Structure 1
């Protein structure tokens, strides 16, 4: 009897999973949607998996992560390159990270630059790379051993010890200047697509422990009488300063922030959300995240909505709907707690449908432009078939959403110069376009639209509709190549190919001329 019950439960679980996939597959898939994972380096959470790996092992592991997430439908990665005033890249300002080399400040055994490698690989996989910085954290824990040239040793007066960690003092003007210089050094020297901060501003409070910045307030109060308002202004100054600096140097680089999910509870402000969260960003972390969106200081926000739908104090649905009404035409993506799936004791996180339910809710709200998952490792574990669900939900590729406030020069269309069937597949080649970032290849069945030239308005609409269908996208290839081999197992018949050009913000050009060929199966 017990064996029979177990079989019935297993069958029921499989039935629910298949039903979930079927529902997901019926959800309209947008052509543009931000899909990303956080790849955390601190404490070797995601990459590198352990300290002091060889160059070959580091590179192999990172490439494998990208391979898997490409299959998961991701079009961006958010990689932690500065976890604690250290660097996972070659820097003259801060020492090598212990999470990379095994000891803070220890040189790599080879001349390669991890960030250069990660950028190249991410772009080759068709993904944006957002460089994730922790602006204020200087040491990870009380056991941290800092390098002789670490900023905490060079400028000890800049730091406050809190909960065993050393944190930059946000009220000191020189601190803001220094943090900005570290970030802009990366912006200037590397081909990153975005700068990203997480939720650590002023520290999460510890009971009966004050953040000792009274003397700083006395010296640098800037006319503020209320310390809380002064603290918020300190963070505002950093965010606005970095925003201005990025836009002055590389205005196409995006600036995004991923704060704690709740700005304010309605109990403290009628404009807040109907929640009872314990650490709202405005009053606890002194981060006025809503203001940064409203004033356009940041390009996107990823609130960490790490609760389930129906949570009593912080309901996922309530929070996401609130943010969708408070995004002020900036991009809003939602941070999902992949790490809770199948591990959190709450019944909601034992349900394989929780994340899919959240995703369906997101797509029902026009202001929500995508999702980010914490963290990579949690997705790849495929607990409760989460990765399987994502592969169903993201079964078609997507471009990242456009940021209309970032100016872009329209790129001209390319021209297909060769299209032929080979023994390995359909070979395409096209002309290069100056300033292209990617090329997008579409494959359409012959009967999906008329052969009449696309500039004839009578036939433009059905053709345009096909190019707005992500199911027609075959591949997105980086601009260092102008050729592609379509190895998909096609049925015999006529197929039409079109290539478009994407700039670095993924604005899309007009299509190339269409090329149609008759596909025939080779007999062995």
Structure 2
């Protein structure tokens, strides 16, 4: 009886304690962020995240990891992108004139092994692995290069194979211990274009991407001028008439133009993207203030967009919407006004600002502004991939809220693509599922499969990698039987074939 009474008291105590446990209710903002988006037809949106390897920011998280650990970390990142319904990864492969792939021109990266020039052991090609694993998950992979950084100040000691040693008259040392190529030197241009050509020719890339590091930010050299006075004097002595600023800008402009031409000569389907600093010049538009990239980085980003020397343009709009002097919507609208060739405008956002409700709300609001301003070709690039799992709220809102539906990349109409024939589909019942086995007259053209399903008058869709030769769909959802299936082939540029319709009896 004693033990029975004690047990009863314990039960009463537990029940009483439970009555004081408060279950946190979602705020109105959280409810909004996790609301339903009605999407009967496939969404078209570029959803990308940067994966930075410089200074081991994202991958690998430290130099010297085993090959197994490196692969595990890569798969974890790619799985997260897939889970959150992204469709593109922008992977940094040339962080400091060294490579995360097998290059004939530059050494293996310090950020892999902790020793520049040392190949992975046992050997594997990281870029090839990333491409294969990305495509397996239906993700595009864009190779991100840094054209002018020769050695990062957090990049370990330079090796005998480093361009700092091999091309020592083509690089300069800055005050923060970073080495920089001389952008005006034609040998530097030729070297970088050769690196790029080999990269594009050797790998099954979906894009080439480079960011805002043209001439270095002033802080890299303690706000002193870039140390190329000797080269400029030689230019003037040989009859050059440009000012030093125009001379520097012209070198970068010609590089941007030639890079685009080189990629298109090699593989026209490979997209070329540039991600410059988000402000062109203070006062453009009128109320904007901030660093002048035209004058400080010698980057005439407006010209590149005006000339169409790129396929997509991702200005780094890393400021909040309501920060008046760097207003996100004002800057986005201004860049759109400069998009005279109607290229893709997919801004980069700072998704790492904070992971609380206010930070998550800011990210969603910027994505929604992009969808409104750029309705024919929306897109957003996250700085950086770590933001996806920055907090449970951020993860849930991306996967179940703003990106709750999968999306194909927007089409790129200025790139010619061969006609994409419709797929052939065989349908078989396997238990409570229907298996769709597809084939195609030119299967290498097919990058993805878009499948529409109609359950009792309601449509839904799913996107599958072309590596899935058999697609399994449910014959019913609860009491709703499957009535119609539509299967559409998608090429690597997002173009669609005619649909194949299957009626379920």
> How does the TM-score come out when normalised to structure 1?
0.85
Change (3 A) 1:144 1:111: closer
Alignment of 1:215 onto 2:230: yes
Within the candidate set 228, 239, 248, 2:265 is matched to 248
Q: Match for residue 121 of structure 1?
A: 133
Report how far residue 296 of structure 1 moved. 1.2
Per the alignment, residue 408 of structure 1 pairs with: 417
Equivalent position of 1:516 in the other structure: 503
Q: Contact between 1:171 and 1:220, CA under 8 Å: does it hold in 2?
A: no
2:450 aligned to which of 438, 441, 456 = 441
* Equivalent-residue separation in structure 2 for 1:149 and 1:171 (angstroms): 23
Match of 1:452 in 2: none
Does the CA contact (< 8 Å) of 2:422 and 2:488 recur in 1?
yes
| Distance (Å, rounded) in 1 between the aligned partners of 2:118 and 2:38 | 52
Measure how far apart 1:60 and its partner are.
Answer: 1.7
In 2, Cα distance between equivalents of 1:517 and 1:120: 35
Pick aligned residue for 1:186 from 190, 199, 205: 199
Structural RMSD (CA): 2.4
CA distance in 1, matches of 2:150, 2:144: 15
For 1:180-220, what per-residue CA distance to the aligned partner results, in whole angstroms no more than 9, with x for missing partners? 11111100100101110011000111354121111112223
**Structure 2 counterpart of 1:431, from 406, 418, 439:** 439
What runs of 5+ residues in structure 2 fail to find an aligned partner? Answer: 1-20
Q: 1:124 to 1:433 in 2, by over 3 A?
A: farther
Q: 1:472 is paired with a residue of what secondary structure?
A: strand
Is the CA contact 1:252–1:505 (under 8 Å) kept in the aligned structure 2?
Answer: yes
Q: Give, in angstroms, the shift of residue 143 of structure 1.
A: 6.7
Deviations 1:393-452 (A, max 9, x none): 111111111111100111111121x2133236321112223132323232332654xxxx
Conserved 8 A contact 1:98-1:104: yes
Q: Please name the residue that 1:160 is paired with.
A: 172
Q: Distance in 2 between matches of 1:447 and 1:433?
A: 33
Runs ≥4 residues deviating over 4 A = 26-30
Asked whether the 8 Å contact 1:420–1:427 carries over to 2, the reply is: yes
Residue 353 of structure 1: aligned partner: 361
State the secondary structure of the residue aligned to 1:131.
strand
SS in 2 for 1:352: helix
Unaligned runs of 5+ residues in structure 1 are: 1-5, 267-271, 344-348, 449-465, 519-524
Q: Distance in 2 between matches of 1:143 and 1:442?
A: 46
Matched, 1:292 2:300: no
When structure 1 is superposed on structure 2, of 137-146 and 177-186 the one drifting more is 137-146
Deviations 1:326-348 (A, max 9, x none): 222011001110111248xxxxx
Deviation at 1:19, TM superposition (A): 2.3
**Equivalent in the alignment of 1:35:** 47
1:370-412 Cα deviation digits (max 9, x unpaired):
00101111222236x2222222111111111111110011111
1: distance between equivalents of 2:416 and 2:321?
38
Distance 1:27 1:439, change over 3 A: closer
User: What residue number does 1:319 align with?
Assistant: 331
The C-alpha deviation readout for 1:441-469, integer Å capped at 9, x for no partner, is: 32332654xxxxxxxxxxxxxxxxx9xxx
Q: Using the alignment, how far apart are the partners of 1:210 and 1:354 within structure 2?
A: 37
SS of residue in 1 equivalent to 2:324: coil
Match of 2:9? none
Specify the alignment match of 1:388 in structure 2: 396
Give the superposition deviation at 1:142: 6.7
Matches within 5 A, 1:3-402: 11=25, 14-22=27-35, 25=37, 31-141=43-153, 144-162=156-174, 163-206=176-219, 207-220=222-235, 223-266=240-283, 272-328=284-340, 329-342=342-355, 350-365=358-373, 366=375, 369-382=378-391, 385-391=393-399, 392-402=401-411
Rg bigger for which structure? 2
Counterparts of 1:369 and 1:381 in 2: how far apart (Å)? 24
Aligned-partner SS, 1:353: helix
Contact 2:288 2:327 in 1 (8 A): no
